[in-house]
Structure 1
């Protein structure tokens, strides 16, 4: 099934899986595996997708990368759409390899990518998404406080750099429609609510992934095609692993999202 078709029929809440070994005792990999599986199963009816941040698994070495693969497969068994948060972006041949590694290996899943090497670096991801039934979430306006240093730069032609990225994606999105929505999607930080509305007007057919909910200060936002993503606030509610508290936190978010 297409990622887009799966995710739009589910609740607009995304679980970010960003494991911190120090919170998981003397055998962190074993506990991270067990906790993540229990958490995904408990939250499955309340989630639109699960987002795996590759950096935290890569930091655990080869076993961590193998664990991420196992958890991605487990999420699909639970019928949960998967977003692989790797923020890849490189020259065309390398982009093709990244696209194969993530979009082709995990059909029907999504990948976050960086647009700043240009269209030839993005096209392999768009092509792989079309072939695999996946989606590509392109960084437009990110949630971190320093994002404006480059993304808000004014252009001589008018507007800002992030607006130019959004306008380029709008053209690509029209070529990748799956019904009302497109496989070409965008990442817009929940920490910038005013920009979310503006970017939605530029990208009317793109899903918007809104990271930064909770720990970074972002608030849950309602709206068609808005995927509110919580990592620390949902994976470690109260700063510790707790399946029961995570379920309660998810219910609180969903009460706001309707």
Structure 2
């Protein structure tokens, strides 16, 4: 029986390590240095993480050896029972979407994949089906962390709703059909750099895990709340701008301390 991504993540601290390797920061040969550093970092941080997020573009840019390295590291993370999110933002239709789903969700049972909803429901359904079969999850881009996200995501339709809200409503409806206890295999990406939107979208998607990229280098700050997965890439993978495992552990502990501090309670009338 496949492990369930949702159940694994829900039982762990709400911090995600983003792996975005830069060969220039590593010794020669760089790919072997990246492999050793990443595996050692995963071992050191595993108890403090709910998942590790591999940014596929940085591995693909290294050619076939880089792509092979990503798959080695995914396997290494699963060996130490660390849930995996593959940040590839795939989105296509028909047999192509099915092939992407096989390449990532079916190849790594119990793992998750980010997907782009721009092509519509038929581009998403193969991923939802594969996640159900493999015990994985799908993180749909809803409101992304980049400054220019509003160019399309904030455009209002004829009903007055911005596009990101229409996507969120669709995600919420799909999430109901794929719940695993409290949470669903249909999840969402919402940038930590947009706290006002986050409050709105948490209300719209109550059963979806929310991946919150942008912590640290992009200016986002830790956000507390059930099902909120705070993701830091450069701030954790290259703390201080270079490979540094002790400093990464310290940074993770600092984030977790902030995330685990109880929220202030309002004063109640006497």
Which TM class, normalised by the smaller chain length?
over 0.9
Q: CA deviation at 1:26?
A: 2.9
Match of 1:45 in 2: 47
Cα distance, 1:134 vs. partner?
Answer: 0.2
Residues 23-82 of structure 1 show CA distances to partners (whole Å, capped at 9, x for unaligned) of 002321011001000000000000000000000000111111111111001101111000
Which residue of 171, 181, 184 maps to 1:182?
A: 184
Deviation at 1:91, TM superposition (A): 1.4
- Flag the structure with larger Rg: 2
Matches within 5 A, 1:11-90: 11-90=13-92
The C-alpha deviation readout for 1:123-167, integer Å capped at 9, x for no partner, is: 000000000000000000000000000000011112100000000
| Distance (Å, rounded) in 1 between the aligned partners of 2:95 and 2:54 | 24
Superposed counterparts of 1:149-160, under 5 Å: 149-160=151-162
Q: Which residue of 2 aligns with 1:171?
A: 173
Within 2, Cα distance between the matches of 1:172 and 1:220? 27
Match of 2:110, SS state, is coil
* Structure 1 unpaired stretches of 5+: none
* Aligned mates of 2:112, 2:93 — CA distance in 1: 20
1:227 aligns with 2:229: yes
> Which consecutive unaligned segments of at least 5 residues does structure 2 have?
261-270
Task: Give 1:120's aligned residue.
Answer: 122
RMSD, aligned α-carbons = 0.5
What is the number of equivalent residue pairs in this alignment? 258
Stretches of 4+ aligned residues off by more than 3 angstroms = none
